[in-house]
Amino acid sequence: MFRPSIIKKRLVNLTANELNEMGITTLLLDVDNTLSTHHSQTPLEGVVSWLDEMKKQGIGLFLVSNAKEKRVAPFAKQLGIGYFSLCKKPLPFGVLRAIKRLNVPKSSVLLCGDQLFTDMPAGRLAGIKTLLVEPAQLESGWTFRVRRRLEKPLLRRYHQKENVQ
């Protein structure tokens, strides 16, 4: 349930060629600690040019975030990407809603996020592939600290089996 299909250090390390080899035409992207730091409206270094390259290569992009509308809407507008906020991951409903909105087959969709216990199960339960990235910045809230501590043993196991780039 929690095992990602792919692991990368940063989202920008994912290439269009890799996506083509997997048959992926659409990326569902988490915002916080995947595209930017938590609560920031500034994309991480390299994200804007990476998104532009993905668009040039014909890869569809859509944001699926647990954050509130007031957080996600300005960020999506800045990047020129559609979005759903309050997706309630790990439940798959926001992910499934995005797939339906985009009218793409599940087999062509990859959910990209930084949280093992929210993003990965949401993608798995929706029946799509998942990409786990290392968080851009560790959060300070107690719920995040607990989740990150619980993730550590699983991440060690997954990293031992993967060639993480």
Q: Check: CB of residue 25 under 8 Å from CB of residue 58.
A: yes
Q: What is the DSSP letter of 155?
A: H
Residues 32-76: tens digit of each pLDDT: 989 999 888 999 999 999 999 999 999 999 999 999 999 999 999
Whole-number pLDDT of residue 135 = 85
Cα–Cα dist 108/22, whole Å: 8
CA-to-CA dists, residue 82 to 19, 52, 63, 102, 115, angstroms: 20, 14, 6, 10, 21
The whole-model pTM stands at 0.86
